[in-house]
Structure 1
Amino acid sequence: MVPLVLIAPSLLAADFSHLADEVRRVEDAGADWLHLDIMDGHFVKNISFGPAVVAAVRNETTLPLDVHLMIQHPHHYAPRFVEAGANTITVHVEPDARHEVSKTLSVIRAAGCRAGLSLNPATPFSSVEQYLPEIDLLLVMTVHPGFGGQAFRPEMMEKVRAARTWQQSRDSQLDVEVDGGINFDTAKVCVENGANVLVAG
């Protein structure tokens, strides 16, 4: 059974000079989660924000906070994001993230948080298959991470289908999330292929 579709607006699209107002605006619009992209300037060539901003957002909302760590050495930093109020922490499976994937997932779960893995467009689905029983969420990047405004890559739907097939064959509760170039038309494509969490903005 495919779960209900959830909408997770990205905090990167917010006006940071009016953060509390922006959080209330997406709450009023019916958002299910808030998606927070953490970038360190190393794993991706951009920098965003850290645990202090996550904590500030947590103080403004009861919505689940979906924290995406696009950083190196995520095992060092994940506990700080849990303390800041994250409900789900997603890390990358790619070698450039410089961590032992299973150990990082264990650190996240031991801290009482849901654990996720993310795949960049060039990374094959086979890279995460062995870890699927250890995660609550798989994030399929439908653009190259780090910058907004990129075109949606429909070929990534093959990974979404593979993840949903795996989930259904095991009756697991795995969420399949997509991020990048999501609009009304591409959202429909993603849902039709098995995604149930859509990052918007």
Structure 2
Amino acid sequence: MKIAPSLMNMGLLHVKDDIKQLDPYTDFYHVDIIDWHYVKNMCLSPQVIKEIRKVTDKPIEAHLYVDNLEEDLIDYCLQCGADIITMPSDIVGRSIHRFSKLIHVRKAKVGVFLNPSQPVSEIQQYSDVLDQLILLSVDPGFTGQDFVQGTFQKIANAKSYREKSSSDYMITVDGGCNQSNFKRLFDAGADALVLGRGLFDRNADLGTAISETYKEFTRLEAAS
């Protein structure tokens, strides 16, 4: 599985130091952009991506919890250095082909996320344009929630549908991922995990936390 630290959990007063410790083990960074409308929370912005881009060459995902999503925000995220744009499936379904063309022309990747209440079948009309499918394992927009157990079956469903439809999206799980469920997520077929508190609260020393997580993922792969 790939490691995607969720940067809404990092210490904003020492971003550069945190990125330096995370970089050797990170596959891509996950940046939550929340607008207070899609869910009643606010978080990072495209400007954060622009600053992070100055201190890392790793891919950066702009994860858009945004209502009334339009091309200008997508374009701004790309200008700021985002390599992956992931969008709410319940908002962008009617515009996904137009948005995906805009993103792919800019040599970036396209993704959508499904809330826990949404079945994998919702992407069947456009799975061929997706590079990434994020399965939210908690309700959107807030850290610290309990992991929704139905996510394991949903991963299996996403994997099965990917094979049947000849799609090629990466299956990513976001929310409540930690040491207690890493193995089950790996066994279910997850390709990447977004790690928030499961990483940042694992050890007071972030370098130790990310190193231990990387070693655990490596052991799971070796044992498979």
Structure 1 SS opposite 2:102 = helix
Deviations 1:86-138 (A, max 9, x none): 1111001114x696232222222222210001001111222112111110000
- One of 99, 120, 132 as aligned partner of 1:137: 132
* Number of aligned residues: 195
Residue 173 (structure 1) shift: 3.1
**Cα distance in 1, alignment partners of residues 15 and 23 from structure 2:** 12
- One of 113, 122, 135 as aligned partner of 2:117: 122
Question: Could you tell me which residue of structure 2 aligns to residue 10 of structure 1?
Answer: 6
**Cα distance in 1, alignment partners of residues 128 and 137 from structure 2:** 23
Question: Could you tell me which residue of structure 1 aligns to residue 77 of structure 2?
Answer: 81
**Cα distance in 1, alignment partners of residues 151 and 54 from structure 2:** 35
Structure 1 SS opposite 2:139 = coil
1:1-201 maps to which residues of 2 (within 5 A)?
A: 5-28=1-24, 30-76=25-71, 77-95=73-91, 100-201=95-196
Give the aligned CA root-mean-square deviation in angstroms. 1.7
Contact 1:69 1:89 in 2 (8 A): yes
**Cα distance in 2, alignment partners of residues 186 and 12 from structure 1:** 21
Q: Structure 1 pair 52/119, CA: closer, same or farther in 2 (3 Å)?
A: same
Residue 158 (structure 1) shift: 2.3
Question: Could you tell me which residue of structure 1 aligns to residue 221 of structure 2?
Answer: none
Q: Structure 1 pair 130/171, CA: closer, same or farther in 2 (3 Å)?
A: closer
**Cα distance in 2, alignment partners of residues 145 and 47 from structure 1:** 12
Q: Which amino acid aligns with 1:191?
A: F
Structure 1 SS opposite 2:150 = helix
Deviations 1:59-82 (A, max 9, x none): 110111122111023333111111
| TM-score with structure 1 setting the length | 0.91
Contact 2:127 2:167 in 1 (8 A): no
**Cα distance in 1, alignment partners of residues 151 and 4 from structure 2:** 19
* Most deviating of 73-82 and 56-65: 73-82
| TM-score with structure 2 setting the length | 0.82
Give unpaired runs (5+ residues) of structure 2.
Answer: 197-224
Determine what percentage of the aligned residue pairs are the same residue. Answer: 30
Structure 1 runs, 4 residues or longer, greater than 4 Å off: none
Contact 1:74 1:104 in 2 (8 A): no
Give unpaired runs (5+ residues) of structure 1.
Answer: none
